[in-house]
Amino acid sequence: MSCMELGKVAVMLGGTSAEREVSLKSGAAVLAALRQAGVDAHPFDPGEKPLSALVEEKFARIFIALHGRGGEDGTLQGALELMKIPYTGSGVLASALAMDKWRTKLIWQAAGIPVPEYALLDADSNDLDFAGIEARLDLPLFIKPACEGSSIGISKVKHPGEIAAAFREAAKHDRWIIAERFIDAGEYTVAILEEAAGMRALPVIRIVPSGEFYDYEAKYLRNDTRYLCPCDLPAEKERDICALAVRAFAVLGGRGWGRVDFMLDTAGNPYFLEANTAPGMTDHSLVPMAARTAGIAFGELVLKVLERASLG
């Protein structure tokens, strides 16, 4: 599409979630790329302006670079549907499902997508059997909020008796907490990009953090996290996992673009963790990294995503 056909574009960034700072960086990178390409693009921070201004300022389409609640959980998508302004990424249902790690797991299990063994904990409950969870899932294990991103509130529990403290940390961010079995042979991610021919998986990235796991600091602040792309998987294994990742994204109703994270066990079996429907676009982000390996420059990637903006 030409820049004229794209019209006036709002880059949604910032917001009010716990991922505001990351979103500001993602949005700034997207905005710069669009302007460099000649698109009439403008920043729009819903943490500072009412959504009604989108109509008043006559925006033709929206590039969503918001992360977390209020940006990728279906609420913004629902508002844009009512205003009839096309937007990037997944629709209301897929966005809401992907933000909720527990309900994502339920759907994946029903569809035959492998997920790590887990337990769902209620922060409002006074009867939690932490010792029983340790016995069932083994150590180490992860404790995480069901509806947060960017590894906010996640802890890796390695020693007996540590679940309670990890649970209290996660409960600062959500009522529902997931205890998840640790899969121990590597963390990977698959970026997904919708094109005219359908959903396309970009090259798999293996993530090798220098610390205990791929936490917020490793994602955004450290420079010693290693990213292997091409990854270390045999070509046939990578193709099979990519096909499964596209299916995992599709069964949630994902569209436009996204990212699916998984881990491998020592036998080489994948276990899917979560889907991200508004991935980061910072200088540390994974989708641009995979796109570069596939021969897609950052500016081209941003335009591809924007061109797929839609309603419904």
148 pLDDT more than 80: no
Residues 81 and 123 in one domain: no
Inside any domain, residue 312: no
Within 10 Å of residue 19's Cβ, how many Cβ atoms?
26
Inside any domain, residue 48: yes
E-assigned strand segments in 132-231? 141-145, 155-157, 176-181, 187-195, 198-201, 205-208, 226-228
Residues 268 and 189 in one domain: yes
Residues 106 and 243 in one domain: yes
Give the integer Cα–Cα distance in Å for 267 and 265: 5
Q: Which CATH number fits the domain that encloses residue 13?
A: 3.40.50.20
Confidence of residue 59 (pLDDT cuts 50, 70, 90): very high
Q: What is the mean pLDDT of residues 80-107?
A: 97
Instruction: Point out the least confidently predicted range of 57-61, 93-97, 225-229.
Output: 225-229
Q: What is the mean pLDDT of residues 59-64?
A: 98
Instruction: Point out the least confidently predicted range of 223-232, 272-281, 302-311.
Output: 223-232
Inside any domain, residue 20: yes
Q: What Cα–Cα distance (Å) separates residue 163 from each residue in 115, 134, 135, 191?
A: 21, 8, 12, 32
Per the prediction, the chain carries an average pLDDT of 92
- Residue 302's pLDDT is 97
Length reported for the chain: 312
- Residue 284's pLDDT is 78
262 pLDDT more than 70: yes
220 pLDDT more than 60: no
The residues annotated with a catalytic role in the active site are 19, 150, 220, 259, 261, 274, 276, 280
Residues 36 and 142 in one domain: no
- Residue 149's pLDDT is 67
Q: Which residue has the tokens 């359908």?
A: 198
Q: What is the mean pLDDT of residues 7-29?
A: 94
- What residues have CB less than 8 Å from 269, skipping those under 6 apart? 114
Q: What is the mean pLDDT of residues 42-69?
A: 96
Inside any domain, residue 140: yes
Residues 294 and 215 in one domain: yes
Of 131, 163, 181, the last residue of a domain is 181
Residues 233 and 263 in one domain: yes
Of 152, 181, 210, the last residue of a domain is 181
Number of domains comprising the chain: 3
- What residues have CB less than 8 Å from 138, skipping those under 6 apart? 181, 182
Instruction: Point out the least confidently predicted range of 8-12, 18-22, 122-126, 152-156.
Output: 122-126
- Residue 153's pLDDT is 85
- Percent residues over pLDDT 70 in the chain: 95
Residues 72 and 149 in one domain: no
Inside any domain, residue 23: yes
- What residues have CB less than 8 Å from 106, skipping those under 6 apart? none
Inside any domain, residue 285: yes
Contact 279, 285 (CB under 8 A): yes
Confidence of residue 42 (pLDDT cuts 50, 70, 90): very high
- What residues have CB less than 8 Å from 302, skipping those under 6 apart? 30, 33, 34, 37, 63, 281
Inside any domain, residue 199: yes
Residues 290 and 188 in one domain: yes
Residues 195 and 167 in one domain: no
Q: What is the mean pLDDT of residues 96-113?
A: 96
Predicted TM-score of the model (pTM): 0.90
Residues 200 and 132 in one domain: no
211 pLDDT more than 70: no
Inside any domain, residue 286: yes
Residue 264 has which token pair?
């491998």
* 147: containing domain: 118-181
Confidence of residue 124 (pLDDT cuts 50, 70, 90): confident
Residues pairing with 62 in the sheet: 10, 87
Give the residue from 187, 201, 185 showing the smallest Cα distance to 262.
187
6 pLDDT more than 80: yes
Give the residue from 36, 53, 45 showing the smallest Cα distance to 11.
45
Q: Which phi-psi region, left, alpha or beta, contains residue 68 (left: φ > 0; alpha: ψ -120 to 50)?
A: left
Q: Which CATH number fits the domain that encloses residue 232?
A: 3.30.470.20
Q: Which CATH number fits the domain that encloses residue 137?
A: 3.30.1490.20
E-assigned strand segments in the chain? 9-12, 41-44, 61-64, 118-122, 141-145, 155-157, 176-181, 187-195, 198-201, 205-208, 226-228, 257-264, 270-276
Residues 108 and 208 in one domain: yes
Residues 169 and 151 in one domain: yes
- Residue 150's pLDDT is 56
218 pLDDT more than 60: no
Report the relative pairing of strands 41-44 and 9-12 from DSSP bridges: parallel
